[in-house]
Chains A and B, each alone.
Chain A
Amino acid sequence: MEPLALYLHWPFCASKCPYCDFNSHVREGGVDHARFRAALRRELAHEAARLGRRPLASIFFGGGTPSLMEPETVAALIADARAHFDAAPDMEVTLEANPTSVETDKLRAFAQAGVNRASLGVQSLDAEALRFLGRQHDAPHAVAALEKARAIFPRLSFDLIYARPGQEEAAWRAELRQALALAADHLSLYQLTIEPGTRFFTEHARGAFALPAEDDAARMYEATAEEAARHGLAAYEVSNYAKPGAESRHNLAYWRYGDYLGIGPGAHQRVLAEGEMHAIRRHRAPEEWAARVEQHGHGAVESTTLTPAERGREAMLMGLRLAEGVDPARVEARAGLAFARIVDAAMLTALLEEGYLEWVEGRLVATIEGRVRLDALLPVLLR
């Protein structure tokens, strides 16, 4: 049976970063931890009751800033999950942490609660860039946090944002090399994107700053893979790099279009049951979500059944982001639709000929050339 991945969303941050469009909120007056702990536990119990016992492969505390949670909340949720489901013996439990000192001090407590993998939001090792990104920490903080986390967690990842305004390829290579030397087994390297509704969106529209040109960003992207590879980290997904075996199992569940529960404000969920893919989206406003959970046991605002065509497209658009590509048989099984009705045969041939796609041991894989053009490739390939 398809194992479950469990995502838990903590929607609060100490401050709002100007580039971020994640469901994150700042509460000056403080957060009612007891209330949100209870609501998260209740919604989890609600979903678990509907699903029945299933194997559980991973848990991911994302945000917002989950490192602002009280460790007992984390402990209670992990314990609940183990009680509701059949946890794999080596279950991966990740928590996103921001590298400020307050949060770093809690790392050991999180480990004791059952977290075995940390993902640190380092974002940059450059003082100027951290200021531009509106972060609460500086570079020495980040390095200290990484060192501390490495001592505590068996597995460690961190995030960096590059292709920032004015950033040159050489400077990025240097920054990345420095990061790679900090010896994590996994890195998420994202290019800065300008998202509607953020402060950067308005500033960018006003011309306050400009992103690197498309071609320069493309070169930085190639440089990234090169530097990572030199340190033994392979680009196993468009923006994720790992030593063999250190890939994020939780995120792989998304990319392989597996079943995942999404608990907490704004969380998304996809579960295939009796041949139907149920998609759930929860209320984004934390207090409103909590009130709904308190009243109905859950905070879902949208609950739909995806059509086979939609499932096919989702499976492909996630799967082709991976270096391993997609197994047509699995796509068919997850979509409930023949592969031939998901992809356009003529375009598939053209894209294979052009070297953007290839068949590798029965799997359809986007080559490097294909993967860097995925957003243009998908609408051409998919029916």
Chain B
Amino acid sequence: MIQAPPDRAPMTDTPLNRIRNFSIVAHIDHGKSTLADRLIQSTGTVALRDMKEQMLDSMDIERERGITIKAQTVRIHYKAQDGETYVLNLMDTPGHVDFAYEVSRSLAACEGSLLVVDASQGVEAQTLANVYQAIDANHEIVPVLNKIDLPAAEPERVKQQIEDVIGLDASQAVEISAKTGLNIEGVLEAIVTRLPPPTGDAKAPTKALLVDSWYDSYLGVVILVRIKDGHLRKGQKIRMMSNGATYTVDQVGVFTPKMVPVDSLGPGEMGYLTAAMKTVADTSVGDTITDDRNPAAEALPGFKDSIPVVWCGLYPVDADDFDKLRDALGKLRLNDSSFHYEQETSLALGLGYRCGFLGLLHLEIIQERLSREFNLELIATAPSVVYKLRMNSGEVEELHNPADMPDPTRIAAIEEPWIKATVFVPDEHLGAILTLCNERRGQQVELTYVGTRAMAVYRLPLNEVVFDFYDRLKSVSRGYASFDYVMDGYAESDLVKISILVNNEPVDALSFMAHRSAADKRGRQICEKLKELIPRQLFKIPIQAAIGGRVIARETISALSKDVTAKCYGGDISRKRKLLDKQKEGKKKMRQFGKVEIPQSAFIAALKMDA
């Protein structure tokens, strides 16, 4: 974000009762970002000519995929029907379950939520998940029925659903179309009249919540704050309460949504600060920022740590990029505290990082951001959940990487993580969903109907979900099922580690865990896939899947049948040599397995496959 001169005189010391802070929450695609656009537009915060659709989705990857990944904050002014001008700080949040942590942090910075529900779709899995989070955060909640311009919109039925499924009073729900701009005024009035103002003490020592942080190429580290008590001023010496580190504030400002500097931020306000912070370690989300000379007595409760549920290794394709990868991970982590990483080494792939994510979409997005924003070519190993190994010695070890699996004879039992999944699905697709859940070792907990939609609650091993469950769910329900989950403890299970051997050498990056009942099938699938992916070479290449020393699947890549040009070269030997030199250059992008070479691209493709 580039700094621009203020659009209007910065108002900073707004009386608390003229401030409203709220999050917009909803299921994916129900129209949060579009509603944010309309709110920004109708209050004249951004000139009409500068408006674009879902303008808060500022990352390329968000615009391309049409989804919100990062929560975004905008400060708008609204002259209400009561004649007063209010400051509204809105936070647009992502809808996808993998980014629930973004939602929870936004909620902690606000007092109220707009619960957007698509009036043609009704309540979906993430509607439920997000509204429960908002209730937990003690939010006042205003239901908003969106997309009533659609012929399929059924506002009355959806209101009933909100009452039945969520237990929320929907009689006062605001009916709008974010797309056409219908009744945006109604939303603004509801915000002002129905959501509570923030509380706070302007005279108390500074107390601000560190909500988010990111790296800006002009400003360096930028921190998003919510002021609880006191003020934040330019030049102020601040202290981070978690570690006592102190900084001098360079700049404070607000989002219009451009970053605009102001002199100070008062209680109840949201804005940013910069203070020559260098590293991730300097900023931890949920921390409390206070005044160094006049510190607050007690820190704010902060955030629950997010616990990664899916891990995979990330390796630079070019080993020389390792340092670049480390820097890039540091910068991304600054912007996404739900993502974890630690260094590791792989025999096949060299030096890299084992990274933890909140889900597969999260994994995919981080990987894509690394390659786009930092120009890194990466290989990701097969995703794995975290297993607990109960050793004979009585100790419990956590296994993040199947390659690290100890000798099974030392293990008394393996436990795997389970989830409780909630699936909303129209009647006619329920059968397919139940079959899918059963195939994935699911246990039914609850099955209820709301009108023509069923809500199925299942316990499932997370392992069965991380690979392709979401895609399968969408495909068997023709896109109509929605899905959300929460972690639901660990349970012992008959799990085995499957190793993949190429030319009789184990490829650590390809090993994975599976339930014994699915081991043969999964082993076969990956061997077949590799056979397709690895080009024929001078030597026959055996590919095997094995559990310990026992081979459960085998394929052989036959040797290349012919590779010579029966051609007339005359005296032009240079051309032939240059061709050879190029081939040799290409071999640098290969991984050597004895005499066999496997192109990087084959690994990447094998790892991408839906298991």
Give the B-binding residues of A (Cβ under 8 A): 7, 62, 159, 188-191, 193, 214-215, 217-218, 221, 238-239, 254, 260, 262, 267-270, 279, 281, 310, 313-314, 317-318, 347, 350-351, 354, 356, 371-380, 382
Contacts and interface: CB of A to CB of B under 8 A. Distances in A.
Given A268-B574, A373-B562, A379 B580 contact: yes
Contacts of A371: 564
A281 B559 CA distance: 38
B584 A382 contact: yes
B573 A239 contact: no
B73 to A, nearest CB: 52
Interface of B: 537-539, 559-574, 576-577, 580-581, 583-584, 587, 595
A317 B565 CA distance: 12
Of the listed residues B560, B566, B576, the one surrounded by the most CB atoms of chain A closer than 10 A to its CB is: B566
Contact of A372 (B563, B574, B576, B584): B563
Contacts of A188: 568
Nearest to B582: A379
Nearest to B564: A374
Nearest to A218: B562
Given A268-B570, A375-B583, 18 more contacts: A190-B567, A193-B567, A215-B561, A215-B562, A218-B562, A268-B571, A268-B572, A270-B571, A314-B577, A317-B576, A317-B577, A318-B576, A354-B539, A375-B564, A375-B565, A376-B538, A377-B538, A379-B583
Contacts of B583: 375, 378-379
Contacts of B574: 268, 279, 281
Contacts of A378: 580, 583
Contacts of B538: 351, 354, 356, 373, 376-377, 380
27 contacts: A62-B570, A159-B568, A193-B565, A215-B561, A238-B564, A238-B565, A254-B569, A254-B570, A268-B571, A281-B574, A313-B580, A314-B577, A317-B573, A317-B580, A347-B595, A350-B539, A354-B538, A371-B564, A372-B562, A374-B563, A374-B564, A375-B565, A377-B563, A379-B580, A380-B538, A380-B595, A382-B584
B570 A214 contact: no
* Dominant SS among interface residues on chain B: loop
A376 B560 contact: yes
A250 B576 CA distance: 19
Given A239-B568, A372-B564, A268 B573 contact: yes
A281 B562 CA distance: 31
Contacts of A190: 566-568
A380 B584 CA distance: 8
A221 B539 CA distance: 20
A354 B503 CA distance: 14
Contacts of B560: 373, 376
B587 to A, nearest CB: 6
A317 B582 CA distance: 14
A191 B584 CA distance: 24
A152 B568 CA distance: 25
A186 to B, nearest CB: 13
B584 A221 contact: no
Given A313-B577, A317-B580, A356-B538, A7 B571 contact: yes
A312 to B, nearest CB: 10
A187 to B, nearest CB: 12
A190 B563 CA distance: 14
Contacts of B562: 214-215, 217-218, 221, 372-373
Contacts of B559: 373
Contacts of A62: 570
Contacts of A189: 566
Contact of B563 (A239, A310, A376): A376
Contacts of B580: 313, 317, 378-379, 382
A217 B560 CA distance: 13
B591 to A, nearest CB: 15
A239 B572 contact: no
A221 B565 CA distance: 11
B579 to A, nearest CB: 8
Contacts of A217: 562
Given A354-B538, A376-B537, A376-B538, A314 B565 contact: no
Nearest to B569: A254
Contacts of B567: 190-191, 193, 239
A373 B537 CA distance: 9
